[in-house]
Amino acid sequence: MSNTASRSRRGAFYTPALSADMLAGLLRVGDSDRVLEPAAGDGALIEALLGRGVRPEQITAWELDPDTCAELGRRYPGITVEQRDALLSVDPARWPRFDRIIANPPYLSKQSHYVRANRDALRRRFSAIGSSETYAMFLDLCLSLLAPKGCLAFLVSDTIRTLRSHERLRARILADYRLEAVVAMPERLFTGASVRTCMLSVSRGSSGTVRVLPHARTETDYSDPASWGELTQASLRDLPGRPLATVLPTGVEALLREGQPLGELARSHIGMHTTDNAVSLAALAGSSMARTYERRRESEGGDPARWRVIEAGVAAGAGWRPYLRQGGVRDFAAPIEEFVDWSPAARANYKGAGGALFGEPGVAVSGVASRLSARLMDAGSLWDSNKALGVVAHRAEDRLLILGLLCSDLYAFIAKALLNDSPSIQLSDLLSLRIPIHGREEIRRACAGCVAAVSDPPALGRARAELDEAVYAAARITPADRAVINGWLGARGIGR
């Protein structure tokens, strides 16, 4: 196996110097502290510790790869290097404790070779956290290895802060440890990997104030006091899903606790899968999608049964249903350009029972988009399970309420900052959104204005501003908190 292939199989992406130094600085290592680096790689974090005056004899480095271990030993004489699989060879119940632990562990998912090859053993060891990502398992292990008054600093995938699959691990941290600091790291921190990351610093101790850096644009932001803020650990512990938020305006906190769950207002469903779009779908003649279909058909040999284009009269017949196959940000309403073959023979091949849901008019929410985005769907419409989620309000008048909320800045913030900071939102995230009790009529009215203005950009801009205003007012979000929310959306490049 090539060196690059071997590194990517082990999840070996090394920490840049300024970030390594920030992690080492947060640990405040004392003269007699025993320090562990459990996934040492080429020693970026060890270099940072030594640079801050930690003695080599204080440091123990674990690393899976034998060649990397040999190199570490040569490069850092005096440190203890042990070649081991940290996740499989260390039983925390019998292992000596460490005063400080610093890590940027491998980010390997359940699809990785390593996790698949060791699935049963990993499951036995880490069943309590219910996650199969290696960074979560390293964090769980190292929490257990901390000495009394011990502290750790971890650089991990940012999904740890919000994804439901990590809720049990977050609950463990928030209930039994002190969360000292959370930093949303700059984008593209690692050469060759696009993963978004965060730094968590956690100690043994009772909960208190959490130092937060909500959005580091570059590594130099770490040393700028103006970039940092504070919130309390108790406020995070009580939130649904227990997100490790970096921004938590008071009004949002109240809404998340007291609002009505969306799940009480609507039914929802993931979509369907045709198993072969080329034969099951057709584009509407004259639409931009029709040109795409024609190009595809030509490039695949011109078979008339594939990538069909149908006239509006045919599309409106019983044999076809409107179909949504585009995620992305498209708010309020969008013309349907694709249709799915609804003949009994074709339907026999489809997977997923999504077909029943939009028997009544509903709202489709993009499953993959930079920000929360929803649009109206007519009765009888269907949608692709990879691209959208469907919601139908129990009461017809709540359709515009739900649509308006899902397209607002406030809910874009709640979804990304607190529910699921990944490009793909889940049904469970949607259903757990909380709806304000007051001001619903104003939101409905403002949303109707947006739908009416959807093809007139200046009018839509004005209608959108009214909608945001109505949503903020309904949720009792103060102007100061709005500024924080808009700042966060802007820094993430998803503001309006």
Residues that bind ligand SAM (CB under 6 A): 10-15, 39-41, 44-45, 62-65, 68, 85-87, 104-106
Tokens describing residue 21: 């130094």
CB nearer to ligand SAM: pick between 102 and 281:
102
Toward ligand SAM, which CB reaches closer, 89 or 220?
A: 89
Question: For residues 43 and 243, which CB has a smaller minimum distance to ligand SAM in the complex?
Answer: 43
CB 42 to ligand SAM: min, Å: 6
Q: Least Å distance between CB 160 and ligand SAM?
A: 14
Of 39 and 272, nearer to ligand SAM (C-beta) is 39
Closer to ligand SAM at the Cβ: 39 or 406? 39
Rounded to an integer, what distance in angstroms lies between the CA atom of residue 321 and that of residue 314? 10
> Which CB atom, from 68 or from 432, has the smaller least distance to ligand SAM?
68
Cβ contacts of 364 within 8 Å, gap of 6 or more: 324, 374, 375, 377, 381, 383, 388, 389, 390, 391
Distance CA 312, CA 54 (A): 73
Read off the DSSP letter of residue 417.
I
Ranked by CB distance to ligand SAM, the top (closest) residue is 41
Contact 350, 280 (CB under 8 A): yes
Cα 222 → chain centroid: 23
Secondary structure (DSSP) of 184-213: EPPSS-STT----EEEEEEESS---EEEEE
Smallest distance, Å, CB 58 to ligand SAM?
17
Q: How far is the CB of 361 from ligand SAM (least distance, A)?
A: 48
Residue linked to tokens 């004899």: 57
B/e letters for 396-411, b = 16+ CB within 10 Å, e = fewer, are eebbbbbbbbbbbbbb
The CB-of-72 to ligand SAM minimum distance in angstroms stands at 9
**Gap between the Cα atoms of 64 and 203, Å rounded:** 26
Cβ neighbours of 394 (radius 10 Å): 9
Q: Label residues 266-291 b or e (16+ Cβ within 10 Å = b).
A: bebbbbbbbeebebbbbbbeebebbe
Nearest distance from C-beta of residue 135 to ligand SAM, angstroms: 9
Q: In this complex, which beta carbon is closest to ligand SAM, that of residue 65 or of residue 219?
A: 65
Least distance (Å) between residue 249 CB and ligand SAM: 33
